[in-house]
Structure 1
Amino acid sequence: MQRPAELEAIRSGEVDLAFRRWDRPRVKVGTQLRTGVGLLEVTSVDQVPVGRLRAEDARRCGAPSLAQLRAALAARSDRPVFRVGLRYAGRDPREQLRETVPTDQEIGEILARLDRLDAASPIGPWTRTTLRIIDANPEVRAPDLAAELGRPTAEFKRDVRKLKERGLTESLAIGYRLSPRGEKVLDHEDGPRRRAPRREGTPLPRTIGAPATRALRAVDVHTLEAVTGWRRADLAALHGVGPVALDRLTAALAERGLGFAGA
């Protein structure tokens, strides 16, 4: 699993390698991995002796030095080292799916799939309950939602991912919300409901972390477009918004041709 900073570096092109101690190759060339910044494609997989690693390898994987790369690979020394080439392959296709409002026929097909998930679950029907609690509590932490349902957080998050695969929910920097697709499906089941106006714009990137997200929400900044109304220095003065979060906001803004106020 790549850390948020590594993901951002791969997306920007600064990093294009990762090194892993595996007992066997865990990915293949052409594999596309879903991450918090979009799709990453595996471009190469090679087994390499640690002694043959060079400073260029360290630079390309984002390590501060060759010595530190070798130190990071010191654990599990009984396993071979694999050098994995990576490139950013674009946005997650689920983003487009969740914006696509289904037809009545498609809604019937979606509901049938949800019924199958319910039938296969050891806890009984859960799909509609989960959609309803997310709809009623957008941007609320998963542990809080799970506690309200009396479910373990890990199991709740696993099931939410199943709904996300179908384009019905989307993960935010903190918590979730229903996608337009999910709202349409739930309204078909329960009848249209009154919701707070949907925030227009691009949600804050999940990679900035929960403390920064809470600080930004506290000043009514919920989207990247809202960030453009602030100077970087002013956001830096908010408790919880550190240099790493600011750098990730900068990268996310630049990807969309945006920037901080006064930049």
Structure 2
Amino acid sequence: MLFKGVHLKGIRAGKITLAFRKWQKASVKKGSLLNTSVGLLGIDNIETVNENDITDKDAQQAGFTDKKQLLKSFPHNHEGEIFKISLHYHSEDPRIKLREQAELSDQQLEEVRTKLKRLDQYSKNGPWTNQVLLSINDHPHLPAAGIANLTGFEKEWLKINIRKLKNMGLTISHMIGYELSPLGNEYLNKLTGSKNKK
């Protein structure tokens, strides 16, 4: 579930408490948390509504001027039901604190290795985590298409799986490309036994 930056800022400030989406089926659940660029968002409720039931006040609570502007935000010729989602700002993104960790104990190192090994084992493309981490380290800010050329993995598959590395605190996503976090650098330091470039 994606949000425009202006809406994320409104949610964080408590000014926006609703979101509307047109989906074939709901992609979020009541009680779940969403990772966004401003932190975690909590989903309080989700329900289907008819277009006629949406009011200007609803639209304003979703960050739009009025109902007309809200309806224009839905993709053209996109079939599905309209979902009304109540939400709130929950907390800072816990991955930020995690990724800034610059030291790993032997136990923490083993935990990271175990998680990465599991990602490799369940991948349809076989082992990939170390190869991708090394590629990001050697080519910071290289977009997914460039990493795909280096590694031979498909671009869209890479985007999804690099997100898994981000969720572990090992990488940082930028407008263009990726880089290793301090935690990711420390993991490679331990892995290679040498100081890794930042």
Residues paired across the two proteins, number: 196
Indicate the residue corresponding to 1:168 in structure 2: 170
CA distance in 2, matches of 1:139, 1:70: 36
Corresponding residue for residue 117 of structure 2:
115
* Superposed counterparts of 1:82-101, under 5 Å: 82-100=83-101, 101=103
Supply the distance in 2 between the matched residues of 1:145 and 1:79 (Cα, whole angstroms): 35
Written as runs of structure 1 = structure 2, the 5 A alignment for 1:177-256 is 177-196=179-198
- Alpha-carbon distance between aligned partners in 1 of 2:176 and 2:79, rounded to the nearest angstrom: 39
Task: Name the residue aligned to 2:22.
Answer: 21
Report the secondary structure of 1:57's partner residue: helix
For residues 63-92 of structure 1, give each alpha carbon's deviation from its aligned partner in whole angstroms, at most 9, with x where no partner exists.
232223345569679744332112111221
**More RCO (CA 8 Å, sep 6+):** 2
Moved more, 88-97 or 8-17: 8-17
Kept after mapping to 1: 8 A contact 2:120/2:126: yes
What is the CA-CA distance between 1:134 and the residue it aligns to? 0.9
TM-score by length of 1: 0.66
1:92-171 correspondence to structure 2 within 5 Å = 92-100=93-101, 101-171=103-173
Closer, same or farther: CA 161–70 of 1 in aligned 2, 3 Å: closer
Over residues 96-153 of structure 1, what are the superposed CA-to-partner deviations in whole Å (9 max), with x where a residue is unaligned? 1112332112212221222232233232221111111111122222221221222221
Following superposition, the deviation at residue 39 of structure 1 comes to 0.9
The share of aligned pairs that are identical, in percent, is: 35
Shift of 1:25: 4.6
Q: CA-to-partner distance for each residue in 1:24-78, whole Å, 9 max, x for gaps?
A: 5543332111122221111232333322322211211122322233455696797
Secondary structure of residue in 1 paired with 2:52: helix
Distance 1:73 1:161 in 2: 26
- Does the 8 A contact of 1:21 with 1:76 survive in 2? no
SS in 1 for 2:172: strand
The verdict on how the C-alpha distance between 1:73 and 1:134 changes in structure 2, with shifts beyond 3 A counting, is closer
Q: Which amino acid aligns with 1:186?
A: L
Deviation digits for residues 216-240 of structure 1 (CA, Å, limit 9, x no counterpart): xxxxxxxxxxxxxxxxxxxxxxxxx
What RMSD, in angstroms, separates the aligned Cα atoms of the two structures?
Answer: 2.4
Q: Which residue of 2 aligns with 1:244?
A: none
C-alpha distance 57-118 of structure 1, shift in aligned 2 (>3 A): same
- Larger strand share, 1 or 2: 2
